């Protein structure tokens, strides 16, 4: 069997591709650091290098075999952001002649880069690809778009990109889309808070069982990232200690969640407790052709079977996973009941709960280790984490098929079907 791709397109439903003989070898992620927490002083480039080096080691492949590097990064949060994909590739050990490119589909970028990697392999343009998503959201800058043209005395104009970039100027702020879905699907404050609490509890149970240790590569308090022929990269964490575990998860009760004020509308129900965490982190996965896997006697985590993306109304962007999942399953001849595990990004409780209602999901299959409400949502890294967690979960639970999916700011959805090996 040779790696192959079959594209599909429907003007009313979206587009995507189905794959044969393309594998996800293994991956790693950094811990996800809380807002202004342990990783807030580390650039997204350095976080991407950490995750990429760990993924290469976990996959058991030489970096010298990498043909391409595809990186997702949303917030330009370091002075070398123009060079971020190339720097991640070079400092991870990829050959000089290999290429690096940036992809951006906001919250779906991590899934998108894996799909693009599969397409490149199926087209015969690569046999081994490093896929990495990274964002240091704490470092999203304050920006002045008009300072070069001058400003009135005492009236410089700056915007906070971390806040302003979450406002879709074509429609409404991201959080308001969750409140819109809550009204459309008649979700109560209690239901939304209960979903958030469940995310935290499921994460805590999985962490106690040691599940996330297989995903995470620790970041020491300070150090130097070196690669022969290039300038050394110094980094320092925020604090005397390094970081080896996710910082955002927290214990909560329904009573505590119920006291939090609404954030995006007077009616709610979205609060800080039922929204994904603003965090810093990176995740990486190695994508390979079947020929490469067989030639090197590798034991991959799983296969990429297909992925799809679609557009929805911006004011209900959170429903995006629904048409993307439906389109992909239809193309594959599968039904919702055929999928064993779902990793759907918890941008907001109301959003993820609306998706579950619309698809009539068995919630015992959904985000069984918790989701972004507990772990956090570092925009460019999330999709890679979803795919990695999905495959690790399928492997642990002895299951076969999984879906990694996310809603996307501006009104899109993306989904990928993976199969455990």
- Catalytic residue annotation: 107, 407
Which token pair is 296? 């090197």
Which token pair is 403? 């879906």
Gap between the Cα atoms of 81 and 50, Å rounded: 16
DSSP letters spanning 148-204: GG---TT----EEHHHHTTB-TTS-BHHHHHHHHHHHTT--HHHHHHHHHHHHHHHH
Gap between the Cα atoms of 17 and 414, Å rounded: 12
Cβ atoms of 248 and 279 closer than 8 Å: yes
Cβ atoms of 72 and 384 closer than 8 Å: yes
Residue that is written with structure tokens 């998860």 in the block? 249
Q: By C-alpha distance, which of 261, 270, 259 is closest to 196? A: 270
Gap between the Cα atoms of 271 and 349, Å rounded: 9
Q: Residue 420 forms beta bridges with which residues?
A: 302
């Amino acid at each position: 069997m040779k790696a192959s791709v079959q594209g599909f397109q429907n003007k009313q439903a979206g587009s995507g591709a189905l794959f044969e003989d393309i594998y996800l070898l293994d991956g790693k992620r950094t811990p996800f650091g809380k807002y202004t927490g342990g990783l807030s002083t580390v650039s997204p480039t350095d976080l991407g290098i950490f995750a990429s080096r760990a993924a290469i080691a976990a996959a058991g492949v030489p970096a010298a075999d990498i043909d391409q590097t595809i990186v997702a990064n949303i917030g330009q949060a370091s002075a070398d952001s123009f060079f971020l994909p190339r720097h991640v590739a070079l400092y991870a050990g990829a050959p000089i002649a290999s290429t690096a490119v940036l992809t951006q589909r906001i919250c779906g970028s991590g899934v998108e880069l894996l799909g693009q990697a599969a397409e490149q392999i199926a087209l015969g343009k690569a046999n081994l690809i490093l896929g990495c998503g990274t964002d240091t959201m704490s470092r999203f800058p304050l920006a002045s778009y008009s300072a070069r043209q001058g400003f009135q005395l005492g009236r410089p104009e700056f915007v906070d990109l971390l806040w302003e970039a979450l406002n879709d100027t074509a429609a409404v702020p991201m959080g308001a889309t969750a409140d819109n879905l809550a009204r459309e699907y008649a979700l109560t404050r209690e239901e939304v808070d209960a979903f958030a609490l469940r995310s935290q509890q499921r994460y805590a149970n999985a962490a106690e069982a040691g599940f996330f240790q297989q995903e995470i590569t620790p970041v020491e308090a300070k150090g130097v990232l070196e690669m022969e022929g290039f300038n050394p990269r110094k980094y320092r964490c925020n604090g005397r200690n390094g970081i080896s575990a996710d910082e955002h998860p927290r214990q909560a009760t329904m009573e505590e969640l119920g006291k939090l004020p609404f954030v995006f509308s007077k009616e709610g129900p979205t609060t800080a407790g039922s929204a994904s965490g603003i965090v810093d982190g990176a995740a990486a996965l190695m994508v390979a052709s079947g020929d490469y896997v067989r030639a090197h006697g590798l034991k991959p985590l799983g296969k990429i079977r297909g992925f799809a993306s679609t557009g929805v109304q911006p004011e209900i962007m959170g429903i995006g996973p629904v048409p993307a999942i439906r389109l992909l399953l239809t193309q594959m001849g599968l039904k919702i009941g055929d999928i064993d595990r779902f990793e759907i990004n918890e941008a907001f409780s109301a959003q993820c709960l609306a998706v579950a209602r619309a698809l009539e999901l068995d919630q015992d299959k959904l985000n069984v280790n918790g989701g972004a409400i507990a772990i956090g949502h570092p925009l460019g890294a999330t999709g890679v984490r979803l795919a990695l967690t999905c495959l690790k979960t399928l492997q642990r639970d002895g299951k076969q098929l999984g879906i990694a999916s996310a809603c996307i700011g501006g009104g899109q959805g993306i989904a990928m079907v993976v199969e455990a090996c």
